[in-house]
């Protein structure tokens, strides 16, 4: 019996020739990532609950401060200090003020075929490079830190066969929200969402990052795009080797198969307070907004900033709207500076933040107040995600968000 991409990655990590859905295997992790959302808790367990604490392989661990950067209160400052001190004591790589964790991991670390645990649910982003990234809690991360190993229940795989190309003005953000709307927020619970076909290969690496990043919003264990030459080019351009380019066997077993013609995808929005409450933008009655946000690990890369700059050039942000922009990493920020994008955004009235999670996290920047409405390129829109419990968060593409920032309304 053949294996899927995800099964092949797990088999490699387990050191066995074959695995199948439902098997439980002990695996060796290729990398571990933890951010300032929970690392301080992991450190406390390491220091206070282990008899003989020892890091298995410091070179596999990356600490990244991105959720509340710079620190907004003494409690956060203390958590950050704990990360810095622990990283220094154990010679662990630490990024602070460099960008969102998943963007940094993709830029600097992830390779095809790797099995990666991250203490953040959107670790599934790494599937854009043909890796198996998945989010875990503090305890699982701690175990992996001190042993180098963990265990995996091999998930079933749902395959999404993609054909064609997205129309002008339609983006991978619209595609993945459409898929989530179709299958539901529980439609891929503990499954691998595998994206393949010529439509998938037509997508850029940035596009694939968008798809895989939101796989967890359908309940998936991870999302993986079938790797190809674009993955090789990206990885090698970032100074790494592109090996283990796994593809599913012809006789691989899939739990379900969905077919999507990209040319038929339309602009959509996800309405509050559920990511699967998705509606075509053209069917939405105009919604007045108070704030717009462009950024996050899903939609804060150079492609999205270019879209915003193109729409904003020569225009102004609506005087009743706060438009907050947070590049996904310093590398993205610098590129946007070189291309004159930051100038255009700021001249139009946008507020450009440092590279961090910002409004998407709803904790340190651009928190929205009582009954306020936000249109966001962030990852989630559940109640209270970006501020007051009575506030409302809509999710849309960079174009939808920017147009709303200009007009003051979410509308086609």
What pLDDT, in 10s, does the model give residues 257-277? 999 999 999 999 999 999 999
Nearest alpha carbon to residue 35 among 71, 63, 59, 73: 63
Structure tokens at 76: 């956060």
- Cα gap 239→312, rounded to integer Å: 35
> What pLDDT score does 363 carry?
86
> DSSP label at 271?
P
Q: What is the mean pLDDT of residues 18-32?
A: 98
Sign of the CA dihedral 139, 141, 144, 145? negative
Side by side, which strands form the sheet with 61-65?
93-96, 61-65, 31-35, 115-118, 132-135
Taking the model in full, what pTM does it have? 0.96
Contact (CB, 8 A) for 87 and 93: yes
First to last CA, the chain: 48
> What pLDDT score does 343 carry?
98
> What pLDDT score does 364 carry?
86
| Bridge partner list, 162 | 260
pLDDT digits 0-9 by tens, 363-380: 889 999 999 999 999 999
Range(s) within the chain of domains with CATH label 3.30.499.10: 5-262, 268-410
pLDDT digits 0-9 by tens, 119-172: 999 999 999 999 999 999 999 999 999 999 999 999 999 999 999 999 999 999
Q: What is the mean pLDDT of residues 340-362?
A: 96
Nearest alpha carbon to residue 323 among 311, 332, 335: 311
Structure tokens at 168: 């002008």
Q: To the nearest whole number, what is the mean pLDDT of the chain? A: 97
Banded model confidence at residue 40, pLDDT cuts 50, 70, 90? very high
Is the model's pLDDT at 236 over the cut of 90?
A: yes
Contact (CB, 8 A) for 33 and 118: yes
CB atoms within 10 A of CB 56: 16
Pick the CATH number of 268-410 from 3.50.50.100, 3.40.50.620, 3.40.190.10, 3.30.499.10: 3.30.499.10
Q: What is the mean pLDDT of residues 326-338?
A: 98
> What pLDDT score does 263 carry?
98
% the chain with pLDDT above 90 = 99
pLDDT digits 0-9 by tens, 352-362: 999 999 999 88
> What pLDDT score does 358 carry?
95
Domain 5-262, classified CATH 3.30.499.10, yes or no = yes
Banded model confidence at residue 402, pLDDT cuts 50, 70, 90? very high
Banded model confidence at residue 1, pLDDT cuts 50, 70, 90? confident
Q: Where are the alpha helices (DSSP H) in 287-377?
A: 296-299, 302-312, 330-338, 341-347
Cα angle, residue 140 at apex, residues 136 and 143 outer, rounded to 5°: 145
């Amino acid at each position: 019996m053949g294996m899927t991409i995800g099964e092949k990655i797990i088999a490699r990590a387990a050191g066995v020739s074959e695995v199948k859905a439902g098997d439980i295997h002990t695996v060796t992790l290729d990398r571990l990532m933890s951010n300032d959302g929970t690392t301080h808790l992991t450190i406390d367990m390491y220091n206070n609950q282990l008899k003989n604490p020892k890091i298995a392989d410091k070179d596999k661990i990356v600490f990244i401060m991105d959720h509340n950067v710079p620190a907004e209160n003494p409690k956060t400052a203390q958590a950050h200090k704990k990360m810095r001190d622990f990283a220094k004591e154990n010679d662990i790589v630490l990024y602070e003020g460099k960008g969102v964790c998943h963007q940094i991991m993709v830029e600097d670390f992830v390779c095809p075929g790797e099995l990666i645990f991250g203490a953040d649910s959107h670790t599934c982003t790494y599937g854009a490079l043909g890796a198996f990234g998945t989010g875990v809690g503090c305890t699982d991360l701690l175990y992996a830190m001190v042993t180098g190993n963990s265990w995996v229940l091999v998930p079933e795989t749902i395959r999404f066969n993609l054909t064609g190309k997205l129309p002008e003005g339609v983006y991978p953000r619209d595609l993945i929200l459409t898929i989530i709307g179709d299958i539901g927020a529980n439609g891929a619970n503990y499954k691998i969402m595998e994206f393949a076909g010529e439509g998938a290969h037509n997508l850029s690496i940035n596009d694939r990052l968008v798809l895989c990043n939101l796989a967890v919003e359908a309940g998936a264990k991870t999302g993986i795009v079938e790797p190809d030459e674009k993955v090789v080019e990206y990885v090698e351009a970032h100074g790494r080797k592109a090996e283990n380019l796994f593809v599913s066997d012809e006789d691989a077993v899939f739990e379900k198969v969905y077919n999507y013609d990209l040319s038929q995808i339309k602009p959509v929005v996800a309405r509050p307070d559920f990511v699967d409450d998705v509606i075509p933008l053209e069917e939405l009655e105009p919604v007045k907004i108070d704030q717009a946000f462009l950024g996050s690990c899903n939609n804060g890369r150079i492609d999205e900033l270019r879209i915003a700059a193109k729409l904003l050039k020569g225009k102004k942000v609506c005087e009743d709207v706060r438009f907050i922009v947070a590049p996904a990493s310093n590398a993205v920020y610098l590129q946007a500076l070189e291309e004159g994008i930051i100038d255009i955004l700021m001249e139009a009235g946008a507020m450009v933040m440092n590279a961090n999670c910002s409004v998407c996290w709803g904790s340190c920047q651009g928190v929205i107040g009582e009954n306020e409405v936000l249109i966001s390129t962030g990852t989630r829109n559940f109640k209270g995600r970006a501020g007051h419990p009575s506030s409302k968060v809509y999710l849309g593409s960079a174009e939808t968000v920017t147009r709303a920032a200009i007009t003051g309304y979410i509308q086609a």
